[in-house]
Amino acid sequence: MPNRGCMECQCPKLDRTPSYAEFLESYLIPNNPVIIGPSLVSSWPALKHWVTDEGSINSDYLKTAYGHYEVTVADCSTRNFSDQQREQMLFRDVVSLWQEDKGETLYVKDWHLARVIAADTTRAQPDRPFYTTPDIFRDDWMNAYYSACTEDDFRFVYVGASGTFTPLHRDVYTSYSWSTNVCGWKRWWLFPADQTPLLFRKGGEEHMETAYDVRDVDLALYPLFEQARPIVIEQGPGETIFVPSGWYHQVENLTACISINHNWCNSVNLPSLYDFMCAKVTEVEHALEDVKELLSQGDANSSRDLSSSWRKEWIAIVQDLVEKDAGWNWLTFWKMIRHALSLAMDWPCPVDGCLWARTPSELMPSLDYMATRIRNCYEDFAIRPQLEGSLIPGMDEVLADIGGLLNYGASTV
Cα 339 from chain centre: 18
Residue 155: which H helix or E strand, with range?
strand 155-160
What residues pair up with 260 in beta bridges, in sequence order?
157, 180
Q: What are phi and psi of 146, to 5 degrees?
A: -65, -35
Q: CA neighbours within 13 Å on the CB side: how many for 157? A: 21
Q: Where are the domains of the chain?
A: 8-264, 270-411
CB 334 within 8 A of CB 132: no
Residue type present at position 135: D
What is the edge-to-edge ordering of all strands in the sheet holding 165-169? 165-169, 248-253, 186-191, 231-235
Mean pLDDT of the region 137-163: 97
Angle between helix 395-411 and 367-382 (nearest 10): 140
Torsion, Cα 360 366 370 375, to 10 degrees, reads 140
User: How confident is the model at residue 208, as a pLDDT?
Assistant: 73
Q: How far apart are CA 402 and CA 60, in angstroms?
A: 50
pLDDT digits (tens, 9 = 90+) for 346-395: 999 999 999 999 999 999 999 999 999 999 999 999 999 999 999 999 99
Which fold, 8-264?
Jelly Rolls (2.60.120)
| Strands of 70-80's sheet in order across | 13-14, 34-36, 240-243, 176-183, 257-264, 155-160, 106-111, 70-80, 83-90
Residue 284 pLDDT exceeds 90: yes
Give the burial string for 38-68 (b: 16+ CB within 10 Å, else e).
bebbeebebbeebbeeeeebbbeebbebbbe
Where is 323: in which H helix or E strand? helix 309-326
> In this predicted structure, what is the pLDDT of residue 203?
81
Q: What is the pLDDT of residue 1?
A: 36
Tell me the pLDDT band of 305, cut-offs 50, 70 and 90.
low
Percent of the chain's residues with pLDDT above 90: 86
| Cα→Cα distances 205→25, 208, 210, 211, Å | 33, 5, 8, 12
Spell out a b/e string for 228-262, using b for 16 or more CB atoms within 10 Å of the CB, else e. Answer: bebbbbebebbbbbbbbbbbbbbbbbebbbbbbbb
Of the pLDDT bands very low, low, confident and very high (cuts 50, 70, 90), residue 323 is very high
Q: Give the integer Cα–Cα distance in Å for 343 and 350.
A: 9
Residue 204 above 80 pLDDT? no
